[in-house]
Structure 1
Amino acid sequence: MQRPLIAVLIASALTLTGQAQAADLIQVYQQALANDATYAVARNTLTAGQERITQGRSQLLPVVGLQGNHSRQYDTVTPPGGIKRDADSHVNLYTLSLSQPLFDYGAWQSYEQSKLSQAVAEVQFAQAQQDLILRVAQAYFDVLTAQDNLASTQAQKSATTEQLASAKRNFEVGTQTITDTHEAQAAYDLVVAQEFAAINALEVARSALQQIIGTAPATLSTLRAGVTIAPPQPANIEPWISAAEADNFNVAAQRLNVEIAKREITRNRAGHLPTVDLTANVNRNSAPVQGVTRGNSVGVTWTVPIFNGFAVTSKVRETIALEERARNDLEANRRAAAQNARQAFLGVNSGLAQVRALQAAEVSSQSALESNKLGYQVGVRINIDVLNAQRQLYSTQRDLSKARYDTIMNGLRLKAAAGTLKPEDLEPINALLAG
């Protein structure tokens, strides 16, 4: 009674192990979050960028400093009619100073710029998060594409091997010519070469995925047969283009850069304005002759720039040109985002149409192959007809898988162009994968 139970337990363990080895898209994405170097760079850049406001605010806060000086002086003193003697004295000086800006328009503009700079860092990190989703999904489906190509090639190789063996047998018994054998041999040699290329392509795709997740990828879950890919919602292209022009992260970052450039113009113009600081000092001076003296002072220090060699005027002209460049960059990014959204939207709809057409073509190709095999057996079709039908079927199946992958990727790119792509968008795609 125990042997069947043990066998069942072993079989269950092997089944669970096999399932554990197959990683789905969400699991691969989690690995990338932990190990991708490019994403880690973006995360570190965000951490550094979050210090901008503190640094900008520091120019508006008081500066407190303590200075000191300790000196020892050796003198030789010879009074009139007296005896020469050595004098050794110690002098200690301490100064505690405070300076609080009361009016510094340039420093205030720098503080406002620091807020915008931190916002840019946050937007750029959000863009890096979207890029990671796209890179992981693309690498994942590149591996699946390479696996499909290899499986199709190996299936074609197996079928071609059977056709070659059949052609040789028929030639030996005299029912076919040597031409059929040569055609089958040529098809076999070609598919062997294609198999080597497919193996290499799969290894390259797996290496690209490994570069993102940091470890050699496990067996990946594949798309279930006959899955249905949802069309984009909304189904009209105009809302997607409008969202891309307004909410795309590259556009948002560049919009903030325009504001920073405008603040930079104002900051440089502040070089013509006076600055006013509140200053306070506490002094303590200890000397042998004077003894200990203490002093406290509080006052206001102001500075009025009069002439600095036209440096301020030149900087203002420079920043005006840079602000105009930032505006042009904003327009270029807006147009690029709209184009990416338009291209991805058309790619999704075109891909859905291709999937439907290739599904019909797969059924037709399968029927054509079966008809050619039957015709070959009864002598109304030749060997090359069967080989061509096989190639057509495998090519159609390979193209169908690729069309599904491309359609899914275009759906993700569409959301990225609109600035709405989130990790949660991988869940419905992951549901299409076989467990």
Structure 2
Amino acid sequence: MRFGLTLALIGGVAPVCAQDLLQIWQMALQRDPIYAASRAGRNADQEKIPQARAQLLPYISADAVAEVEDTRRLRGLNDNNSNRRALWALTLVQPIVNIGAWGALERAGYIAKSADVVQEAAYQDLVLRVAQAYFDVLAAQDTIRALQAEKSAIQTQLRAAQQGFELGSITIADTYEAQARLDLINAGELRAQNVLQVSQDLLAKIINERPSQLAELAPDTVLPGPVPNRLSDWTTQSSYANLAVAQAELTAKIIEKQIDIAKSQHYPTVSLRAQTGSASDNGLYNTGNGPSGPRSLDSTVGIQLSIPIFTGGEISSVVREEASRLQQARYQLEEAKRQAVQSTQQHYSGVTSGIAQINALQAAEKSSLASLNANQIGYEVGVRISIDVLNAQQQLYETQRNLSRTRYDTLMSSLKLKASSGILTDQDIVAINQLLTEKR
């Protein structure tokens, strides 16, 4: 259902040269091996239901034996007797009362539901991995863009310092300072290029191809806040809808059924048994003068009752083992609930504080730009020195890099908030994709 929805959404978007998040997501759905492995595991666990149901249905077996027995005396080996036998039987068994088999069928249903939850968790994990890899590439590109702009500004400042030194208006120290900043920027640019390469490799690992130009987040984009904007609503939602909580609940139910199955080993079982078959025995009736002995056809129908009396204490031990595992599962369920609430609080704070940081960094960017302009004018008129301009440049471009990273981190926090609440879907990919543009 999700696959078709995504295709329909892609079909309604006008084609662009750059790959956007929705297109990357579509490729990841088809190509990511982790998600594909989870889907195969889910399909395998669904087979637990027909396997358990088969223990309640009739089964038929056929047996046949053909043998020749040759008996000889120990002395001389000349006195011998040969017996030939041919037997076949057709048996039908229909369980009538088997409480353990019914418990196994219910347990298989819980296992199948647990597999569905695991598959849904893998789906949400794929959403987060695709978005994180995509934003890491964009953040690396923004970092390189800011470093290159800072490098250009430092080169301009370096030329000014060299000219000033040649004219004798400033000392050589300004030239050395600008050159040192330029060398540091060159080293930082190399590191940023490596980060970009690694980020692209991680994205390529998911979609099995190198990403081309990616649609980017426009600088003036206003990021939405959490809806509803109340932490209590999100924590309440996550305490029962978080997928890890759902998985822990199903694990406890599976163990409860396992206890019932273990106890049922004390109970009697009743089954209908019907058998028919024929046999011939030449060895018993053959006198050597006739060709064969008599042939018989026997048929039986009856009810078979089986009552376990003593198993050496094994059943009681299994019950005690499963009871301890149930206690363990309930503690793990409580831990999953607390972890879901804590994660929700963390990611909710990440969204709200991230939006506040974005606003603060945008204001800092404007003030840093004003400071840079003022220092450049002061340097030109002689009331500021080169180091003041370089510091102002560094502050501006560092602010821009921090602003870029904070925007992507805030978007990821919003996705993780929905994942911790169990409501993350491909619609969230669509919503973020609408914020992207082909080119800055």
Normalised TM-score (structure 2): 0.90
1:232 is the counterpart of 2:226: yes
User: What pairs up with 1:70-149 in 2 under 5 angstroms?
Assistant: 70-74=66-70, 90-149=84-143
Residue in structure 1 matched with residue 429 of structure 2 by the alignment: 426
- The C-alpha deviation readout for 1:38-84, integer Å capped at 9, x for no partner, is 1111011111011111111111111211111112345679xxxxxx9
Q: Which residue of 2 aligns with 1:412?
A: 415
Structure 2 distance, partners of 1:76, 1:291, is: 24
How many residues matched?
A: 411
Tell me by how many angstroms 1:89 deviates.
5.9
Of 298, 315, 323, which residue of structure 1 is paired with 2:326? 323
> Higher mean Cα deviation, 65-74 or 92-101?
65-74
Distance in 1, matches of 2:328 and 2:369, equals: 59
Match of residue 250, structure 1, among 244, 249, 261: 244
Distance 1:90 1:158 in 2: 102
Which residue does the alignment assign to 2:37? 41
Q: Which residue of structure 2 lines up, in the alignment, with residue 210 of structure 1?
A: 204
Distance (Å, rounded) in 2 between the aligned partners of 1:427 and 1:46: 26
- The answer on 1:374 being equivalent to 2:368 is no
Mapped partners of 1:76, 1:400: distance in 2 = 99
Q: Aligned match of 1:292 in 290, 295, 302?
A: 295
Counterpart Cα distance in 1 of 2:308 and 2:81: 48
Q: CA deviation at 1:286?
A: 2.9
Q: Give 1:343's aligned residue.
A: 346
User: Aligned ranges for residues 136-285 of structure 1 at < 5 Å?
Assistant: 136-285=130-279
| 1:166-199 deviation digits (Å, cap 9, x = unpaired) | 1111101111111111111111111111111111
1:352 to 335, 355, 365: 355
User: One-letter code of the match for 2:257?
Assistant: R
Q: Which amino acid aligns with 2:110?
A: L
Distance across 2 between alignment mates of 1:361 and 1:203: 30
Instruction: Indicate the residue corresponding to 2:9 in structure 1.
Output: none
Question: For the residues of structure 1 that align with 2:197 and 2:294, how far apart are their CA atoms?
Answer: 84
Provide the C-alpha distance between the structure 1 equivalents of 2:397 and 2:390, rounded to a whole number of angstroms. Answer: 11
The 10-residue stretch of structure 1 (149-158 or 110-119) with the greater mean CA deviation from structure 2: 149-158
Identity of aligned residues (%): 42
1:301-347 Cα distance to aligned partner (Å, 9 max, x none): 11111111111111111110000000001011111111111111111
TM-score using structure 1 length:
0.91
Pairing 1:60–2:56 present: yes
Could you tell me how far apart the structure 2 residues matched to 1:384 and 1:201 are? Answer: 29
TM-superposed CA distance for 1:91, in Å, is: 2.6
Which position in structure 1 is the counterpart of 2:4? none
Which residue of 2 is the match for residue 394 of structure 1?
Answer: 397
| Superposition deviation, residue 213 in structure 1 | 1.3
Distance 1:223 1:260 in 2: 46
Q: The residue matched to 1:172 in structure 2 has which SS?
A: helix
Distance in 1 (alpha carbons) for counterparts of 2:205 and 2:67:
62
Q: Which runs of 4+ in 1 moved over 4 A?
A: 73-77, 84-90
Amino acid at match of 2:118: Q
Look up the SS of the partner of 2:216 in the other structure: coil
Matched residue type, 2:417: L
Match of 1:383 in 2: 386
Cα distance in structure 2, aligned partners of 1:200 and 1:225: 24
> Any gaps of 5 or more consecutive residues in structure 1?
1-17, 78-83
Distance verdict in 2 for CA 1:272–1:86, change over 3 Å: closer
Q: Distance in 2 between matches of 1:27 and 1:89?
A: 77
Cα distance in 2 for partners of 1:344, 1:74 equals 83
Please name the residue that 2:12 is paired with: none
SS in 2 for 1:46: helix
Identify unmatched segments of 5+ residues in structure 2: 1-14, 286-292
The two structures, once aligned, show a CA RMSD in angstroms of: 1.6
SS in 1 for 2:95: strand
Whole-angstrom CA distance in 1 between matches of 2:119 and 2:244 = 11
Offset, 1:271: 1.5
